[in-house]
Every structure is written in C-alpha cells, then in structure tokens.
Structure 1
Amino acid sequence: MIAASFGMANFFARPIGGYAYNVSARFFGMRGRLWTLWILQTSGALFCVWLGRATSLSVAILAMMLFSIGVQAACGAIFGIVPFVSHRSLGIILGLTGAGRNFGSGLTQLIFFSSPRFHIADGLSLMGIMGMVFTHLVAFIDFRQWGKKLQGLHEGSLKFAENSISERGRKAALDGASTSPGNGNRADV
C-alpha cells in the first residue's frame, strides 16, 4: 500500500504541476513555465536525497511522498512545454519525451541499484543529486539562450517559431488555410 501511494500520487500531482505551469505562464510567459519546471524538478530531487538519508520509516514515507509529488508535478509541467519545441513534430517530441523518461528511470535503476557497489540509501541520494545536476544544466542552457537574445542571436529561432505556427499541415495547405485562425494574434493559435 505504501509503495502504491507513489504511483497513486499521479492523480493529483500531475494536474497540480500543470496548474502551476498555467499560472506561471499567465504571469511570466515561457520564462515562468521553465522556472516552474525547474522548481518542481529541484524539489523532487531534494526530496529524493532526503529519502536516501531518512533514518526512520515514517520519515522515509514522508520523503517518498514528497519526492513523488515533486517528480510527478514536474511531469505535468513538462508536457505543457513540449508543444513549444516543435509544433510540426508534436507527436515525435511527445513520444521521445515519454520514452526518454522511461529510459532515464531504467538507466538510473541500472546504475545505482543493480550492483552491490552502492547501498540503497546512497543510490537514492545519488539519484537525487543526478536529478539536480540535470535540472541545473537545463537552467544553464536557458540562461545561455537569454544571453543570445540580448545579443540578437535569437532571430532564427523566432523565424522558426513563426514558420511552425503558419504551417498547419498538408490538408490546411491544400485548402489555402495556411495562415493562423482568428485575427492572427498568437493567443488565437
């Protein structure tokens, strides 16, 4: 029952992550979306480290539940960001995101829990640290993109985004409806 609670947290944690994503997007745009994802992933990683250092069953259960909420809320937020990667290849990107998540969890299990080299507590803590490293790497890449924007090197990305919005697929192009619906505002897309 205790182990099943990790998966059952999906019912409310993912929608909470999606809601936090929507609220931050409303106030701060894409930067708010990315920071929400960063906060959720970092909190999940910190709770994973805490789980590895737990000294009693009750603390371990609490840390596991908080780890579960952080990780799964981050999953809810990440699937809101995925469509911005490439609208034309949305199915491929969603598939790769889901497959990458499963591959990463399997790889983590293989690295930290398949040999007697790591104690379970150390493996959990190292798994949390690895999560924080990847989260901070993504934040670093985002800051580099911000620096490119200050230098004016982001124009190519904007052109790609506009092109992605205007291409609605083969059927829409044949119908002559290759422009965006409504008055052309990005909110209508």
Structure 2
Amino acid sequence: MSIITLNKATKLELLKFSKPATRTFWITSISFFLCFFAWFGIVPFMPDVVKDLGLTPDQKWNSIILAVSGTVFARLLIGKLTDKYGPRLCYTWLLIIGAIPVILIGFVQTPLQFLICRLFIGFIGASFVITQVHTSIMFAPSIVGTANATSAGWGNLGGGANRLGMPIIAAAVVSFGIAEQADAWRYSMIIAGIICFLMGIVYYFFTQDTLNGNFKDLKAKGQMPTAKKDQVGFLEVLKDYRVWILFFVYAASFGIELTVYGTMDDYLQNTFQLKRVTAGNIVLSFALMNIFARTLGGFFGDRFGNKYGLRGRVIFLALILALEGIMLATFSSITILSVGIAFLIAFSLTVQMAEGATFSVVPFINKKAIGSISGIVGAGGNVGAFFAAMLLKSKSAIAEKTAIAANQGMSQDIIEAAQSAASSTAVSSGYFIIGGVILAASAITLAIKFSTEEETETTELKTEPTLILADK
C-alpha cells in the first residue's frame, strides 16, 4: 500500500472534533496562524524598532527582504522532510525550533542581530508547506482544494491579525507593569515565541499523520514507500515542468500579496494623503479577507475539478490569475480614494482566491511527493515576494533620491512632499509592471496538462465538496 491509497475524509466537518481529520485540520490551521502571527509580528512595532536600534532605511528594507528570503530555503527543505518523516514530527520540530529566533529577537541590541533574527524567523513560514501536506493527506480529492485553502487562509490571516494582536499584547505588558512602553515590543515577541513552542507540544500529542496512523508505524508495517522510492519521486518532481509553472504561479499570487501587503501602508499615505492609522486599518482589512477569500479559491477549484476534471482546476486557476493581474494593474493608475479601495478589495479577493486555486491543483501533480511539490511551489511565493520587493525598492529609492536632489535648498516640508510624490509614482509603476507579470503567469498556467491516467485516478471520488458547520 502507498500513501495515495490511505483512507481520506470526504467531508470537511468543522465541528466534529472527535474525528482525526477535523482535529488535525484545526490544529494545523491554528499552528499555521500562530507561525504567520510570529513571522510578521514585528511589523506593527517597526517604528519602535527603528528608533530603539537606530535602523537606517536600507536596514529596514533589508529586514523585510530577509524575512521572506529565509523562508525560500526552509520551504524547499521541509517539503522533502515531510514526505520522509511525516507532517506530525516535522510540524512539531518546526514550531519548537522556530520559536527560538522569535524569542531571541526580544533580546537584540544591534541592527545586525535584528537582521539575523528576522532571517531565521522567516523559517517558520515553511509551516505553510506542512499545513498543505497534512490536509492533502487527510482529505479526499473532492474536498482537498477547499480543505487546503481554508487551512492556508487561517495562516495568512495570522499575518494580518498581528496588527491588532501584537499591540494588544504590548498594551497588556505595559498595563501589568511588566515593562515600559519602549520595551513592550520585545516582550510581545517573546510571548509569541513561547506560544509557538507550546503549540509544538500540542501538535505532537494531538495529531496523527494520516487517518490510518503515523508514518513511522505505517513504514514498520510496510505500508509506506521506501526512502529509495521517495528519492526517485523527488527527482521526478524536479523534472516535472508543471511544478515550475505552479512555482511561478504562486510567486505571482502569494508572493505579490506579501509584497503589496508590506508596501501598501506607505503607498496609501503617499498617494491619497491618508494618516498612518487609516492606511493601516485598510491594509488590515485586506489581510482579514483571508478568512473566506482563499477558501473560495479552493472551493471553486474543487467545483471546476468535479465537473470538468483536472483540466477544470487549471482553467479556473488561469481565469482567477488573469483577474488578479487586471485588478492590480488598474489599481496602480487610480488617484481617487473610493475607487482605489474598490479595486484594492477586488485585488485582495482575486489574489487570495488564486492562492487557494493553486493548491487545489498541487495535490494532483505527483501524489507520491506532495511534500516536495508543496515545498517547491510554496518557495515560489517567497521568491516572488523577494523580486517584487527588490523591484519596488529600487524604483522607489531612485525616484526619492532624484526628488530630494531636485529640491535641495527648499523647505523640509517641500522636500518631504516631493519625496512622497516620487515614491507614489515609482511604486505605482511597479504595481503596473507586476500586474503584467501576473497576466503572463495566467497564460502560462494553461500549459499545465494531465495524462488520461491521472484524470482517471481522480474519478473514484466524485462527491461534491461539503463544508459542514454543525451536526444535522
């Protein structure tokens, strides 16, 4: 017996906690939420960090880039490890070890120490890969897209919820007299790290790798592929062009969401003259849409798949990607706030649906190496974020320096206004370019093909995807 013949749940029954599939779904979703919460937990405190550690603008940008760069390597590695050792052990150790740099960042005293911690904190972003593997193992083809997208949506939500949660933790630390306001960000990160550590213990004791049992026990019974077969599967993954198309697709969806989320505060302030609090609340709303938007992508991916086969999943993915590109390119040229927010909401909806739709396709590429494929595709998101951030950073830096040079001798207010306008124009053009890249990704997606044998394998479970909220 191989892993692809193991029992799988055909329904996502959210309130039946006694069932291993439901219990695993919620524990992996909450773990993913906490990892993203800690990964981007420092973002709300960046003004305090800049002041406390004396970060330069370049060091601030570099910390953003390092935070997403470290995740690339971690995701590539964790996918292979998950195929070999199972999601339960891999998630347990990722949470426990990943908690260390989260805690240590609360003790940094220099910019270099801060940058190193941000690099290693990024490793917990690999939690996404394990989450997708675990839900792919637990749920049948008819519902796997919905399950993957819903669990992933909770994780992405953590990246936005920290804008509310971290300041609340900081306020509690100050109100209880544990620390002064200037050091509250340090204690908040330490607390987030401790919670991740404790969640690792929960993961070990309350989840299992599959509905049939853990990888270790199944291997002892001869019911799992051997290490040699795993290795061959990984080589096959590297040679499969479809994996690299999905790598590009995820770079054009999740990678762009990360970049836009990280740059939108300043862009809204510079373009529409909003206050920082107002801009931050708009971006928070953008992140909170992950509660339902990513699930929609997986749900419709399943619906298209159940009706039109695996090709249907690909077609839906291409369509939603095209809409994502159009929404971002259009948003980049808008100067009216109300219209801009409407297109920003549309972009948020489509980019998150595209992420969900991507992982409604991933489980069907090579079922013997779901972890490896998820790792490569997941890493694509961070590679996309890296290059998009580098594009926006370079365009903005050049434009701002030119504006400052052109207004030398003028008042500080005039220089700042010119710098703000230059940054807005530069980032706007960057968004437009990125929109074009997304449209290219949409076209390339259609090149993904499946064999007749692969199509046939998915017909054994044609049940409509079901999302059960309560017992009937």
1:135 corresponds to which of 436, 442, 446: 442
1:79 maps onto 2:359 in alignment: yes
| Contact kept in structure 1, 2:317 and 2:358, CA below 8 Å | yes
Partner AA of 2:301 in structure 1: Y
User: Any unmatched runs of 5+ in structure 1?
Assistant: 146-153, 166-184
> Quick one: distance in 1 between partners of 2:459 and 2:326?
37
| Contact kept in structure 1, 2:298 and 2:360, CA below 8 Å | yes
1:56 corresponds to which of 318, 323, 336: 336
Partner AA of 2:382 in structure 1: N
Question: What RMSD, in angstroms, separates the aligned Cα atoms of the two structures?
Answer: 2.3
TM-score, length of structure 1 as denominator length: 0.73
Percent identity between matched residues is 28
> Quick one: distance in 2 between partners of 1:37 and 1:10?
17
Q: CA deviation at 1:39?
A: 1.0
1:122 corresponds in structure 2 to 429
3-state secondary structure, aligned to 2:339: helix
1:32 corresponds in structure 2 to 312
1:98 maps onto 2:348 in alignment: no
Q: Which has the higher contact order (CA 8 A, sep 6+)?
A: 2
> Quick one: distance in 2 between partners of 1:44 and 1:188?
31
Range that drifts further, 56-65 or 41-50 = 56-65
Partner AA of 1:133 in structure 2: A
> Quick one: distance in 1 between partners of 2:303 and 2:461?
18
1:187 corresponds in structure 2 to 460
CA deviation profile, 1:62-114 (whole Å, cap 9, x unmatched): 11111111010011111110011111110011111111112112211212343
| Contact kept in structure 1, 2:363 and 2:370, CA below 8 Å | yes
> Quick one: distance in 2 between partners of 1:31 and 1:158?
11
1:3 maps onto 2:283 in alignment: yes
User: Any unmatched runs of 5+ in structure 2?
Assistant: 1-280, 400-424, 463-472
| Contact kept in structure 1, 2:325 and 2:435, CA below 8 Å | yes
2:295 corresponds in structure 1 to 15
Q: Over alpha carbons, which structure has the higher Rg?
A: 2
1:107 maps onto 2:384 in alignment: no
2:327 corresponds in structure 1 to 47
Partner AA of 1:17 in structure 2: G
- The 1:24/1:113 distance shift into structure 2, 3 A limit, reads same
CA deviation profile, 1:150-182 (whole Å, cap 9, x unmatched): xxxx8xx556x59xx7xxxxxxxxxxxxxxxxx
| Contact kept in structure 1, 2:328 and 2:347, CA below 8 Å | yes
Partner AA of 1:111 in structure 2: L
| Contact kept in structure 2, 1:16 and 1:76, CA below 8 Å | yes
| Contact kept in structure 2, 1:113 and 1:123, CA below 8 Å | no
Aligned length: 154
- The 1:35/1:158 distance shift into structure 2, 3 A limit, reads closer
Q: CA deviation at 1:7?
A: 1.3
- The 1:29/1:158 distance shift into structure 2, 3 A limit, reads closer
Partner AA of 2:376 in structure 1: L
- The 1:28/1:186 distance shift into structure 2, 3 A limit, reads closer
Range that drifts further, 43-52 or 116-125 = 116-125
> Quick one: distance in 1 between partners of 2:352 and 2:394?
24
> Quick one: distance in 2 between partners of 1:27 and 1:53?
38
TM alignment of 1:168-183, pairs within 5 A: none
> Quick one: distance in 1 between partners of 2:428 and 2:363?
37
Q: CA deviation at 1:138?
A: 2.2
| Contact kept in structure 2, 1:24 and 1:33, CA below 8 Å | yes
- The 1:26/1:188 distance shift into structure 2, 3 A limit, reads closer
Q: CA deviation at 1:120?
A: 1.3
| Contact kept in structure 2, 1:83 and 1:90, CA below 8 Å | yes
3-state secondary structure, aligned to 1:53: coil
